[in-house]
Chains A and B, each alone.
Chain A
Amino acid sequence: MLPLIISLGATCIGALVFWRSFPDSSRHRRRCALLGAAAGFLGPQLSMIPLRYCAFEPEHSFMFSLRFLGRETQLNAALLVGIGFVVLGIWAALLVVRLLVEQVQRTGYIIPPQEHSSRFFKGWGWLPWLLLAPTLIAIALFVYYPALQTFSLATRLVRLGIEKTAPVCVDNFAQLIAGQRENAIYTILSDGLIFGFDNVSYIPLLGVSFFYAVGIVALANLLGLAIGNIAHRSFRGAHVYRTLLIWPYALSAVVTGAIFLSILSPRVGLASNLLTGMGLPEIPWLQSAAVAPWAIVIAATWNILGFNILFYIAGFQNVPKDLLEAASVDGANSRQRFLHITLPMLAPIIFFLLFFNLTYAFFDLFGLIDKITGGGPRGATSNQVYEIFTLGIRNKDLGKAAAQSLVLMSIVGLLAILQFRLLDRRASIRA
């Protein structure tokens, strides 16, 4: 009964959304609505048929309490996850179909016809496939197959080193919402290993990840702009500085982590040396949950700043000199010139670095965190990727780790969509 209601609802939503979003092409409007209905119907089925709608079964509940407006409310995490899956499914299906429809409206085809060019070799039927075979096999085996596996692992109980698995419906996801992190109970496993985070609420983890993202992007771009603004000028010895400033970028995350571990280590480290030398109190870089995330942000910024500086130098050098001179003849002061000429000309580079650094902050901090804090104190510096490793490999719970990987995958999707949207807007502003 419930599957029927959900499917019907999704179909109606799909039809309605498409009916409303293509009002101009009245000739095709009905056909678009039909397409939308089909997409809406298929969307939830993608996730729900493999799960057999188990998230909505009453015996499958995962209660947790939430304080809302001063009242304690009991909520079913499994049900919430199920609803989330359905909504995501509808949204993704509608997005894909809509992009296809727009492509057809704009160009008249889905698959672009291949150009004719005298460049092409003729009469080598199977050779191009042979040339592509290693790449295609490798991405099928090491990207697409693991991506599918992630979905199936996420709905099962999978232990590292044990072949057998058991379906657990959406429990792995439900625990992301319903688990408790604050009382990070350090459970002792049967094999005697001590570990934390058996039951993790995902919210603080997201907080740490976003803190890293904002901190690193802001610091690396502000400092990069400031240094690039000076280092791009032509004066004697400028290229020496340019070379010296980018060296840290050559170091790996692990080496950077090791260096900052020794700088920040209590009592013996350079940081505490300098502070106590000036008669100031020591900062508990690695022991305090409030300070430790800053240590990660600073180390990460130090590591990648050279890359940003290099791109900003190139960007500043591409700003036409005569434009700046004309503005200064017209009486624009240096701040006005920077805000109204230089900054807009730098926009493409800022945009590129923003996303480049954002991707770095979300996905490339593992080595740094592992070396400097090991995720501690009490999980305060652990981000999503680090947690996936802790959960999947140290705690041997591959199922839960896979569920977290899927959450991370949706962040990848969000970043990609954001990037394309902004690119579109930028293109339209220019045109």
Chain B
Amino acid sequence: MRKDKQNRGSWRYHVFLIGAVIILGTPLYYAMMMSTQSLGETLANPLAPGQSFAENLERVIASRLHITFANSVAASLTIALGKTALSLLAGLAFSFFRFRGKWFAFAAILFTLMMPGEVLVIALFRVVSVTLGLGNSFAGLVLPSLASAAGTFLFRQHFESIPSELSEAAQMDGMNPLQYLAYVLIPLSWNTIVALFVISFLVGWNLYLWPLMIITDPASQVVQVGLSFITQSEGLAAQNLGPLMLGAVISSIPPLIVFMVFQKHFMRGFAISREK
């Protein structure tokens, strides 16, 4: 009887949700259509595919989006790898050792959890560019993103859920902590590792304010900033946003793929790292 009731009402759900999908999807569809259009085609019919994909692509390549794209791949992979590795090691230290000063180390890391990077960005800029002399360098771009309080807690929490017996057995077998990490913990933690890696990759890919400040050379810029090189390119009418849209679509391919492949991991990891 319940099933009946559900089916009777369900066409309304379809109408409602199709409406929602259309409204939320229109900007995406519009961006994709625009990336194939010239200004004239946009004015004629903004919601139909145009003929100017090749021209737009030429402009995008002329403003060297492929270079900033590659820079972004390198930076986000480095950030994701570094963050995951650092958090893994810190989680290991907190979960499997008893040592003097543990509480202070823990509190020091915990406290940074609520500090958004934007608040410190001015002083950080001066520290990295003046004190460390890393202005306009790859190291200056990625290093500030490496430490992660959320990642450390993610692993700590995950490791505490692993039965103590495993660690006891490992110690009796004479394993050292690093062997335990390599042979027992990592194989048991792939879900968490992938989740953190994927989130960190997306966060690194979306960095904008920091690269805008620290990188001054267009050739080492990241793709989010590189998009504005398209609109600044010579001889382009200010209203012709087709090339910019193509650039936006291209720069969204990696996060979309990551999102598609790892959706389950991603949301699970996000839920854990944010709710706890």
Within the complex, the shortest CB–CB distance from A350 to chain B, in Å, comes to: 13
**B252 sits at the interface (CB 8 A):** yes
B114 touches A416 (CB 8 A): yes
A52 to B144, CA, bound (A): 33
Q: Are B27 and A146 in contact (CB under 8 A)?
A: no
Q: Does A366 contact B (CB under 8 A)?
A: yes
Give the chain A neighbours of B208 by CB distance below 8 A.
Answer: 252-254, 366-367, 370
Evaluate whether A146 and B124 lie within 8 angstroms (CB atoms) in the complex, with A112-B103, A230-B17, A262-B31 already known. yes
Is B122 a contact partner of A153 (Cβ separation < 8 A)? yes
Stretch binding the partner chain, chosen from B59-67, B86-94, B188-196:
B86-94
Instruction: Scan A372-386; emit 1 where CB is below 8 A from any B CB, else 0.
Output: 000000000000010
Q: Which residue of A lies closest to B32 (CB)?
A: A259
Given A233-B6, A259-B248, decide whether A120 and B122 contact each other with a Cβ distance below 8 A: no
Which residue of the partner chain A has the closest CB to B99? A128
Cβ contacts under 8 Å, B143 to chain A: 138, 142
Instruction: Give CA–CA (A352, B27) in the complex, Å.
Output: 28
Render B23-41 as a binary contact track against A, CB cut-off 8 A, 1 for contact. Answer: 0111110110010000100
Interface 1/0 per residue, B245-257 and A, CB below 8 Å: 1011001100110
Decide yes or no whether B120 CB sits under 8 A from chain A: yes
How many chain B residues have a CB neighbour from A under 8 Å? 98
Q: Is the interface of B mostly helix, strand, loop or mixed?
A: helix
Most buried by B among A120, A389, A416: A120
Complex contact A393–B20 (CB within 8 A)? no
Count contacts between A and B, CB distance < 8 Å: 277
- The complex places the Cα of A393 from the Cα of B212 at a distance, in Å, of 10
Bits for B205-231, please: 1 = Cβ < 8 Å to A, else 0: 110110011000000000011010000
| Residues from chain A with Cβ under 8 Å of B43 in the complex | 268
Taking CB atoms and an 8 Å cut-off, the chain A residues in 338-387 that contact chain B are 352, 356, 359, 362-364, 366-367, 370, 385
A310 at the interface (CB under 8 A from B): yes
Do A149 and B126 contact each other (CB < 8 Å), given the known contacts A237-B14, A268-B39? Answer: yes
B245 touching A259, Cβ below 8 Å: yes
A287-315 interface code vs B (CB 8 A; 1 in, 0 out): 00000000000000010011000110010
Interface string of B101-113 (1 = CB under 8 A from A): 0111100110010
- Whether B56 is near chain A, meaning CB under 8 Å from some CB there, is no
- B184 CB to nearest A CB, Å: 12
- Contacting chain B: which of A66-74, A201-209, A401-409? A401-409
Q: Which of B20, B47, B144 contacts A142 (CB 8 A)?
A: B144
B96 interface residue per 8 A CB criterion:
yes
CB pair B24–A245 under 8 Å, yes or no, is: yes
Chain A residues within an 8 Å CB radius of B118: 363-364, 366, 385, 388, 408
Is A190 interfacial (CB 8 A cutoff)?
A: no
Given A143-B112, A143-B115, A146-B120, CB of A234 within 8 Å of CB of B103: no
Report whether A118 and B164 are in contact in the complex, using a CB–CB cutoff of 8 Å: yes
Tell me which residues across on chain B come within 8 A of A158, comparing CB atoms. 126
The reply to whether the CB of A329 lies closer than 8 angstroms to some CB of chain B is: no
A366 with B209: CB separation less than 8 A = yes
A90 at the interface (CB under 8 A from B): no
Cα of A255 to Cα of B20 in the assembled complex, Å: 21
* Chain B neighbourhood of A316, CB < 8 A: none
Contact of B87 among A135, A236, A243, A261 (CB under 8 A): A135
Residues of A within 8 A of B244 (CB): 258, 261-262
Question: 1/0 contact trace for A224-237 toward B, CB 8 Å?
Answer: 00010011011111
The 8 closest A-B pairs by CB, nearest first: A138-B147, A149-B123, A146-B123, A131-B93, A128-B97, A252-B206, A128-B93, A250-B259
Q: List chain A positions with a Cβ less than 8 A from chain B.
A: 111-112, 114, 116-122, 124-125, 127-129, 131-132, 134-136, 138-139, 141-147, 149-150, 153, 158, 163, 227, 230-231, 233-238, 241, 243-245, 247-255, 258-263, 265, 267-268, 270, 273, 302, 305-306, 310-311, 314, 352, 356, 359, 362-364, 366-367, 370, 385, 388-389, 392-393, 398, 401-402, 405, 408-409, 412, 415-416
The 18 listed contacts between A and B (C-beta, < 8 Å) are A121-B180, A134-B86, A134-B90, A135-B86, A139-B109, A143-B147, A145-B123, A146-B124, A244-B25, A250-B255, A252-B251, A254-B225, A258-B241, A259-B248, A262-B244, A270-B47, A370-B208, A392-B121
Residues of B at under 8 Å CB distance from A? 6-7, 10, 13-14, 16-17, 20-21, 24-28, 30-31, 34, 39, 42-43, 46-47, 86-87, 89-90, 92-99, 102-105, 108-109, 112, 114-116, 118-128, 130, 132, 143-144, 146-149, 152, 164, 167-168, 171, 176-177, 180, 202, 205-206, 208-209, 212-213, 224-225, 227, 239, 241, 244-245, 247-248, 251-252, 255-256, 258-259, 263, 267, 271, 274-275
